[in-house]
Amino acid sequence: MMPVPFDFRRPPPGELEWQTSEWLAEAARLATATWAKLLTFQAEPVAAGVVPTTAGAGMLALPNNAIGFAVRPVNATPDDDEGFLLAVPRPLLLTLLAGLMNEIVEGYAPDRELTPLEPQLLDYVVRELLLNPLEAAWPLRDKPRWQAGPGGQPRNVWRVAPADPAVLATMTVTTPFGDQTFHLMFTRSVRLLRLADPPPPKAAPQSDSQKRHIEALVREMPVDLTVTLGSSDLTLFDLAKLQPGDLLVLQQKVTEPLPAAVGGADKFRVWPGAVAGRAAVQIHQVVDQA
């Protein structure tokens, strides 16, 4: 069996994806208790995975019958980046709606166009069954308050550049008559990034003149950042035999970030990637020099 080449443009999940997964797992746990009280059938949501992606690739992963909702903070401005996309297959939404309306549900609703009244009722479904648990499970002190816009085609309700970095989460709903999945897609907004970033240490107070002097000096300092993709031990005999196309196995696991050095000393762990066609790295963590 041939090994699958590793795509360094899409590194494995990092701290942000892990923390997002933990948040969604707690939201699913809270939702399970709420759904048991509100629905006429048994349904359990489960966090099924969180992966780094781009907005364009994330859109391609959504099912064709998904109804998208742009979820933004209450009183958000049009340029606010704190929101996310909620994309739920139409049959799942209609089934949840039937359960909320105290109807007997023995299977998923057939996929069909919505009636003129149903879009307004689906707002209630999104609020009660999905947004409330997400808000309650938020692990930081700045508890969000979100509101969902009108449902529609995901590409129409959530307009972001296809190349923008994003995080795609999959949630699975388990019922006695089968499973369905829905998705949440986040840009790397300030709020989301705080899940992975601990609060910064308090800095010693400095005067304005000191800050301006230090900033002026730092801006003029040239610094070389060196990222090592990997290394391999070879004898001189092996080195002399190398030809174009030969494969070298590097002493670097593809599931671990790469070392980045400043002045010959390791300062960071980074993930390699690309931005606008140019090589780039994303800082994963700062190396403890203690």
Q: What is the pLDDT of residue 80?
A: 65
CB burial of residue 24 (10 Å; 0-12, 13-18, 19+): buried
Residue 118 lies in a domain: yes
Residues 235 and 106 in one domain: no
Residue 210 lies in a domain: no
Residues 141 and 226 in one domain: no
- Which CATH number covers residue 265? 2.30.330.10
Last residue of a domain, one of 138, 173, 193: 193
Residues 130 and 168 in one domain: yes
Residues 265 and 187 in one domain: no
Residues 70 and 127 in one domain: yes
Instruction: Determine if the pTM surpasses 0.75.
Output: no
Q: Which of 224, 252, 243, 30 has the alpha carbon at shortest distance from 134?
A: 30
Which two tokens mark 39?
């629905």
What is each CA distance from 43 to 79, 100, 138, 173, 220, in whole angstroms?
36, 12, 22, 6, 60
- Which CATH number covers residue 160? 3.40.1550.10
Residues 108 and 60 in one domain: yes
Residues 176 and 56 in one domain: yes
Last residue of a domain, one of 178, 193, 208: 193
Residue 199 lies in a domain: no
Q: For the chain, how many structural domains are there in total?
A: 2
Residues 163 and 33 in one domain: yes
102-117 residue pLDDT tens: 999 999 999 999 888 8
Last residue of a domain, one of 149, 172, 193: 193
Q: What is the pLDDT of residue 1?
A: 44
CA distance 71 to 283: 28
In three-state secondary structure terms, 273 is: strand
Which two tokens mark 143?
């508890």
Residue 6 lies in a domain: no
Residue 9 lies in a domain: no
Residue 185 lies in a domain: yes
Residues 141 and 89 in one domain: yes
Residues 28 and 115 in one domain: yes
Residues 227 and 112 in one domain: no
Reading the chain (290 residues) residue by residue, the pLDDT tens digits are 444 454 444 455 577 888 889 999 999 999 999 999 999 999 999 999 999 989 999 999 999 999 999 998 887 766 666 789 999 999 999 999 999 999 999 999 999 998 888 888 888 899 999 999 999 999 888 888 999 999 999 999 998 889 888 899 999 999 999 999 999 999 877 677 777 765 555 556 667 777 777 777 767 777 778 888 888 888 888 888 888 888 888 877 777 888 888 877 888 888 888 777 788 888 888 887 65
Residue 271 lies in a domain: yes
Q: Which of 50, 51, 71 has the alpha carbon at shortest distance from 158?
A: 71
Residue 122 lies in a domain: yes
Q: Which of 227, 223, 289 has the alpha carbon at shortest distance from 258?
A: 227
Q: E strands, the chain, where?
A: 44-54, 66-73, 84-89, 146-148, 165-175, 178-187, 225-227, 258-262, 265-275, 278-286
Residues 100 and 176 in one domain: yes
Instruction: Give the domain extent around 33.
Output: 15-193
